[in-house]
Amino acid sequence: MTTPHELTGIGVSPGVAYGPAVIVRLDVPDVPNRFIDDSEVEGELSRLDEAANRVVEILTALKERVRERAGTEESHIFDAQILMVRDQEFRDQVRQCVRDGMSAETAYEFKALELRNMWGNSPNRMLRDRLADLSAIHNRMLAALLGRPGEEEAVVPTEDRVIIVARELSPGLTVQLDRDHVVGLVSEEGTRTSHAAILAHSLGIPAVMGAVGALDHIRDGTVLLLDGQTGSILLEPTRGELERARAQLSRRQKLALELEGAVAQAAITPDGIQLEVLANVDLPDEIALAVKHDAAGVGLLRTEFLVTGRAALPSEDEQMEYFRRVADSFNGRQVVIRSYDLGGDKFPAAFRAPHEANPFLGWRSIRVCLDHPEIFRPQLRAVLRAAAGGRPIRLMLPLITRVEEVVAAHDMLLEEALGLSRMGIPAAATVPIGVMIETPAAVLIA
């Protein structure tokens, strides 16, 4: 097989990196099929609980390490993984398998493979993006049950300046990498919104993901030149290619400095009209960047990431804490929270959406929320509670086609505000409501 000179993936963390490759393989634990009798069930259930507690301890330590290296927002990545470990529905399924006669590790592997296959084949892009997190959690649990080293004990370079190449990068592996020794990352799987990509960006390590065939063509010691912006990976680059890469990097750095200088300037049109530029925030790691660049607030805070990689929807408290944290980050500037834009490829794993010929045009967004108040009402309460104390929070409703939808949502909001007041829970009496003008019907009735 001829080795190509260039591979292409998805640039997920900008920058240019040059150095020898180091292949990192994280083997899935080999789990022997073992069955038990009734007298062993309680002992196996205890082993499951002990393994889960051990994995939570490891993840909590990794969370603190991320907080120190990359910031508080990025550390919440491990909150999602801890929630996966504690997912009660999944744990109950594993425990039932143990009661049916499987050992703890056999039962866990059986249900883990079942869930990974479901996520991997899901049309939900967000679930597929979190498959690396799910696999990492399952491998940690199996390693703990089998008494074997986990991902946190993987051998990572501590000398030279190398580029890590792996099939898949997880947050647990990524956070261990020292930028003084690891100058770039390449993986065969992963996307721009994966947690490992977010961490690589925060740590300032150039990275390319989705580089299909990388492990087939790259060997330990292969010299690589990767561009974390374009997704290009050159194998054994020539002197001319290195010089062109240096020139390209110099141009980008110059442009970045020019843009940094422009950030402090007022947004004024040529005819003297001053504008407010607000941030469009999709993921938590974008908040600090928006604050740094002096955004006048958040014009669109998307909430779909809260359901990403989750077997169930987030709690009211979790949503409230996130909304409050965002609002406090902007120190009195307005934050517009968009209610769940569920539908299409954005449903939590446990949610059973009806089959549609084109799910992107059918039952989604506000229609899902109004049809399922058990989803919508906790989010409304979270918004109201986050707005307590005068925080300038607003609510935006997506995919509106009828006035009645806005009225119904507003009525629910007032009902939840009244309920919170009666319970003595600090919350705003209401928040301003707006809509996204994104359908022909909305344009005509606006």
| 146-157 per-position pLDDT tens digit | 887 665 555 566
What pLDDT sits at residue 116? 83
Q: What is the rounded average pLDDT of the residues 313-318?
A: 85
Gap between the Cα atoms of 83 and 85, Å rounded: 5
256-260, 328-332, 344-348: which has the minimum mean pLDDT? Answer: 344-348
279-445 homologous superfamily: Phosphoenolpyruvate-binding domains (3.20.20.60)
CATH 3.20.20.60 intervals, the chain: 279-445
Contact assessment for residue 287 and residue 346, using Cβ atoms and an 8 Å cutoff:
no
Nearest to 170 by CA among 104, 255, 77, 84: 77
What is the CB neighbour count within 10 angstroms for residue 312?
15
Nearest to 205 by CA among 230, 182, 234, 172: 182
Contact assessment for residue 428 and residue 327, using Cβ atoms and an 8 Å cutoff:
no
Residue 391: pLDDT band by 50, 70, 90 thresholds?
A: very high
Q: What is the rounded average pLDDT of the residues 409-435?
A: 96
Q: What is the rounded average pLDDT of the residues 68-95?
A: 82
Q: What is the rounded average pLDDT of the residues 74-99?
A: 87
Report whether pLDDT(50) > 90: yes
What pLDDT sits at residue 312? 64
Token pair of 149, please?
A: 């080293």
Specify the CATH architecture of the domain 6-25+154-244. Answer: 3-Layer(bba) Sandwich (3.50)
Report whether pLDDT(305) > 90: no
Pairing of strands 298-301, 335-338: parallel
Contact assessment for residue 167 and residue 215, using Cβ atoms and an 8 Å cutoff:
yes
Q: What is the rounded average pLDDT of the residues 181-201?
A: 86
Gap between the Cα atoms of 69 and 187, Å rounded: 22
Residue 320: pLDDT band by 50, 70, 90 thresholds?
A: very high
What pLDDT sits at residue 355? 45
Nearest to 397 by CA among 439, 354, 440: 439
Q: What percent of the chain has pLDDT over 90?
A: 46
CATH 1.10.274.10 intervals, the chain: 38-152
Q: What is the rounded average pLDDT of the residues 441-445?
A: 78
Residue 160: pLDDT band by 50, 70, 90 thresholds?
A: confident
What pLDDT sits at residue 261? 76
Q: In what order do the strands lie in the sheet with 207-209?
A: 6-8, 232-235, 223-227, 16-23, 162-166, 182-187, 207-209, 10-13
Gap between the Cα atoms of 23 and 72, Å rounded: 30
Report whether pLDDT(25) > 70: yes
Gap between the Cα atoms of 62 and 253, Å rounded: 32
Residue 444 C-alpha from the chain's centroid: 36
| 334-386 per-position pLDDT tens digit | 999 999 987 654 545 445 544 444 444 445 678 889 998 998 999 999 999 99
Gap between the Cα atoms of 162 and 224, Å rounded: 9
What pLDDT sits at residue 368? 87
Nearby residues of 185 by Cβ (< 8 Å), 6 or more positions away: 13, 163, 164, 166, 169, 174, 177, 200, 205, 206, 207, 208, 209
Which three-class secondary structure state does DSSP give residue 53? helix
Buried b / exposed e over 202-223, threshold 16 CB at 10 Å, is bbebbbbbbbeebbebbeeebe
Pairing of strands 162-166, 335-338: unpaired
Backbone angles phi, psi at 234, to 5 degrees: -95, 135
Average pLDDT, the chain: 85
Nearby residues of 437 by Cβ (< 8 Å), 6 or more positions away: 443, 446
Token pair of 47, please?
A: 């082993």
Q: Given this structure, which CATH class describes domain 38-152?
A: mainly alpha
Report whether pLDDT(285) > 80: no
Token pair of 158, please?
A: 């501590």
Q: What percent of the chain has pLDDT over 70?
A: 88
